[in-house]
């Protein structure tokens, strides 16, 4: 095949053979998505199961006689699984393998979701919800380590920024799409649609993500020689995973408490259900911008502790602006309060992306990446399990939401103290340290 074009100094045409790389280039349909981005989408798919319940609570009450207490248990079961077995499942991921674990998790979500759509009573739905919690853990715990293996060192922080947004992305999609599907087709079709999506995601990930060889040091004499108990002991014996995990709890508890109670707050203010769903979804989606921004800033060499400090400090100030008032009502007008909540969520997004980056950096070894992320996930689940009841207790005691900022501010203050400890820990690492410590 030849390529013909005009010479620069004449109108005469000449032809030259086209390079082999051009003639052999595949058709546009053969272009594939970056495998690391497929991993991120797998996390979003799992997060859809995490947040699929809130849009369906009313439909479940009508169909199965679900009580509010049972709805609360259904909401917390996934976090309870993470709070109890996050570390153990992280070590299991290290043994099972990153890709295999993620495929297994998506498979569990597919089967449990499909069975949940056919459930005839609340106890069965609760049992399957607990299984979904285990599938969620198997899906998301390998994510950061798998991304680290798939991308070059220069892109790790940027892609981990995208990974940090998988929970708010799933929440925003559920809040936007879930009510439409449930109102048109019913809650069972909502369950089955997400089960089918998980199955399709598993097939895509199986084909798009390459089989990975053993990690550096993963020979029989290295990482793979470590038993399950030894991985747990080394993870729990290192200060880095503890600092990152407890810091994550200080973030996740207050973020979920504010975003989780927004529908109730807006309903009390007389806002309609449709508008409430959209307003809350936009708040959740704003968190994505913070995650992506943190990834880009880390890639450009910005200080991780500084990003954490900005995130916690801004969350404290914005919560104060959004909620401060008296039992008679808030001090600021509604538009300014909503703007404060948007900034609260966006600035908070700086925190999870940065902490996932630090979890990879401060893991006690390559073989402990999964157990480190599992320990961080366990603390994140603890924060999400305990944060909303704490804020609800404060609101009940105060007779309104005007002191919510006290609870979230306390979490932010502890987060800032832990940020200083993380900064001191990072200063003790070798200057050119590229990976786990």
Whole-number pLDDT of residue 26: 42
Residue with structure tokens 């976090």?
Answer: 79
Domain locations along the chain: 34-210+227-427
Q: What is the pLDDT along the chain (437 residues), one digit of tens a residue?
A: 444 444 434 444 444 444 443 333 343 444 478 899 999 999 999 999 988 887 887 788 888 888 766 776 777 777 777 888 788 888 788 788 889 999 999 999 999 999 999 999 989 998 999 899 899 999 998 998 899 889 877 788 888 888 988 988 998 888 888 888 988 999 999 999 999 999 999 999 999 999 775 444 443 344 455 677 788 888 889 999 999 999 999 999 899 888 878 877 887 778 876 787 788 889 988 999 999 899 899 988 899 999 999 999 999 999 999 998 877 677 888 899 999 999 999 999 999 999 989 998 998 887 788 888 889 989 998 998 888 888 888 888 888 888 999 999 999 999 999 999 999 999 887 754 444 44
Whole-number pLDDT of residue 15: 46
Q: Could you tell me which of 371, 370, 364, 250 has the C-alpha nearest to residue 311?
A: 250
Q: Could you tell me which of 123, 142, 135 has the C-alpha nearest to residue 65?
A: 123
CB atoms within 10 A of CB 268: 11
Cα separation of 260 and 171, whole Å?
A: 10
Whole-number pLDDT of residue 263: 76
Whole-number pLDDT of residue 46: 95
Count of residues making up the chain: 437
Three-point CA angle 84, 50, 94, nearest 5°: 50
CATH class of 34-210+227-427: mainly alpha
* Beta-bridge partners for 188: none
Whole-number pLDDT of residue 145: 86
Q: Which two tokens stand for residue 266?
A: 């807006």
Q: Could you tell me which of 245, 218, 255 has the C-alpha nearest to residue 86?
A: 245
Three-point CA angle 189, 53, 84, nearest 5°: 125
Is residue 347 within 8 A of residue 290, CB to CB? The reply is yes
Cα separation of 47 and 174, whole Å?
A: 9
Q: Which two tokens stand for residue 293?
A: 């921004």
Residues 320, 326, 327, 329: is their CA dihedral positive or negative? negative
282 alpha carbon, distance to own chain's centre: 16
Whole-number pLDDT of residue 1: 46
> What's the pTM?
0.77
Cα separation of 177 and 23, whole Å?
A: 44
Whole-number pLDDT of residue 68: 62
Whole-number pLDDT of residue 277: 77
Write out the H or E segment, with its range, that includes residue 17: strand 13-17
């Amino acid at each position: 095949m030849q390529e013909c074009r005009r010479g620069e100094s004449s109108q005469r045409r000449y032809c030259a053979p086209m390079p082999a790389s051009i003639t052999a280039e595949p058709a546009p349909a053969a272009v594939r998505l970056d495998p690391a981005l497929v991993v991120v989408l797998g996390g979003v798919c799992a997060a859809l199961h995490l947040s699929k319940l809130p849009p369906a609570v009313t439909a479940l009450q009508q169909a199965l006689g679900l009580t509010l207490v049972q709805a609360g248990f259904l909401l917390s079961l996934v976090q309870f699984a993470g709070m109890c077995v996050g570390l153990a499942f992280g070590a299991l991921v290290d043994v099972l393998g990153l890709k295999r674990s993620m495929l297994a998790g998506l498979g569990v979500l597919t089967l449990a979701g499909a069975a949940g759509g056919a459930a005839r009573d609340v106890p069965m739905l609760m049992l399957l919800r607990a299984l979904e919690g285990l599938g969620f853990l198997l899906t998301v715990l390998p994510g950061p380590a798998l991304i680290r293996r798939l991308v070059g060192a220069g892109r790790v922080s940027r892609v981990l920024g995208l990974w940090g947004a998988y929970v708010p992305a799933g929440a925003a999609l559920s809040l936007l799409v879930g009510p439409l599907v449930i109102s048109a087709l019913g809650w069972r079709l909502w369950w089955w649609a997400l089960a089918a999506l998980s199955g399709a995601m598993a097939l895509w990930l199986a084909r798009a993500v390459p089989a990975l060889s053993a990690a550096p040091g993963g020979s029989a004499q290295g990482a793979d020689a470590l038993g399950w108990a030894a991985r747990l002991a080394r993870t729990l014996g290192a200060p880095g995973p503890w600092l990152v995990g407890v810091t994550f709890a200080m973030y996740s508890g207050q973020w979920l408490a504010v975003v989780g109670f927004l529908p109730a707050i807006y309903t009390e203010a007389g806002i309609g259900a449709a508008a409430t769903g959209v307003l809350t979804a936009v708040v959740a989606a704003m968190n994505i911008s913070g995650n992506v921004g943190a990834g880009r800033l880390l890639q450009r060499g910005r200080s991780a502790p500084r990003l954490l400090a900005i995130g916690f400090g801004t969350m404290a100030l914005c919560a104060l602006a959004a909620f401060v008032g008296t039992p008679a009502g808030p001090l600021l007008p509604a538009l300014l309060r909503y703007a404060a909540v948007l900034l609260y969520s966006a600035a908070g997004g700086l925190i999870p992306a940065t902490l996932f980056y630090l979890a990879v950096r401060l893991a006690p070894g390559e073989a402990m990446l999964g157990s480190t992320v599992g320990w961080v996930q366990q603390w994140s689940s603890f924060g999400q399990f305990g944060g909303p009841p704490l804020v609800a207790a404060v609101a009940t005691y105060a007779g309104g939401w005007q002191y919510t900022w006290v609870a979230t501010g306390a979490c932010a203050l502890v987060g800032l103290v832990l940020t200083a400890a993380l900064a001191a820990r990072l200063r003790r690492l070798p200057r050119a340290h590229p990976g786990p410590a």
